[in-house]
A = this chain, B = another copy of it.
Amino acid sequence: MRCKKCKQTACFQIRRHNAAFCEEHFVEHLQNQVVRAIKKFKMFPRSEKILLAVSGGKDSLALWDMLVDIGYSVDGLYIDLGIPDYSDVSGQKTRNFAEARGLVLHEVSLSRAYGVDIGHIARKNKKPPCSVCGVLKRYVMNTVAERHGYFAVATGHNLDDEAAVLMGNVLNWQTEYLQRQSPLLEAKPGMARKVKPLFRLAERETAAYCVLRGIDYIMHECPMSEDATSFTYKEVLNRLESESPGSKDHFLLGFLRTAPQLFPQDPDDGPDLQACTRCGQLTTTGECGFCRQMARAGLDSLALFHSDTPQERDQHN
């Protein structure tokens, strides 16, 4: 196999694009896909400093590396969920990445603020860890974005993630979720713009990117994650992809093309919002979901940001 671009020996084949690339042009190809995603969905301009939620995994670190390499201005946000044998490692890898490149990293830590982990909050709420984790992450992303003046928060969701979510939404015909499934969710009061610049890249591509760029990432999946359904959707999509390369891409991109007609987002259709009586974040109820979740675990929601890293405290002043 020869590189599509320079005709040197190729190191990586992308069957759905019917192309192979050498190391240099593989990296360039993936970065071009990200730029294409950003421009197509008008995610953010080159001049805007954005916030990227980083987990220490291959996707978010690859994305951070790509965006900075392309010339975007990106600060990181790491949320330490206090998961034993996992958060320490993922946090350290994230910090190492940021320090080696002189990048700004915000950190918010459950264990530093409360001395508890996400499992504790989940048990007290009698909910699956992934559910309480989602509420917490959204809250922290919006709050950090608001405090530090970021208009856009990026996440490292890739093609496999998005296609699996789409499969679940379609199998259950969840039209409300289908209306909201997009690589770009516009800002709403109290919520930053959310963007997913990696949605065109398969997870094996972001993994290969990390290897080629020497990025040290945490390989294990989160041990709290027991969402067997999403693994089944990914498995099923991999089966379809191996039968017919391009299936995932075709499924997700075809949806994104037709969704504005089939599942229109109505910007005026949101519920009335008011300030949370506790933290002030906008919410539909008296007290927001995050504050209620923390209260059920016997924790003061306002204390979370008291554990800001020194770097973050500096930026406050």
Contact = CB atoms under 8 A, between A and B. Distances in A.
A129 to B, nearest CB: 20
A243 B262 contact: no
A240 B230 CA distance: 11
A92 interface: no
A300 interface: no
Nearest to A170: B170
A131 interface: no
Give the interface SS of chain A, mostly helix, strand, loop or mixed. helix
Among A173, A235, A244, A251, which residue has the most Cβ atoms of chain B within 10 A? A173
B250 A240 contact: no
Interface string A220-252: 000000001100100110011001100100110
B240 A171 contact: yes
A47 interface: no
Interface stretch (A94-102, A141-149, A206-214, A253-261): A253-261
B254 A229 contact: no
Contacts of A257: 173
Given A170-B251, A262-B262, 10 more contacts: A171-B240, A171-B247, A171-B250, A172-B251, A172-B254, A175-B262, A229-B243, A235-B239, A236-B240, A239-B239
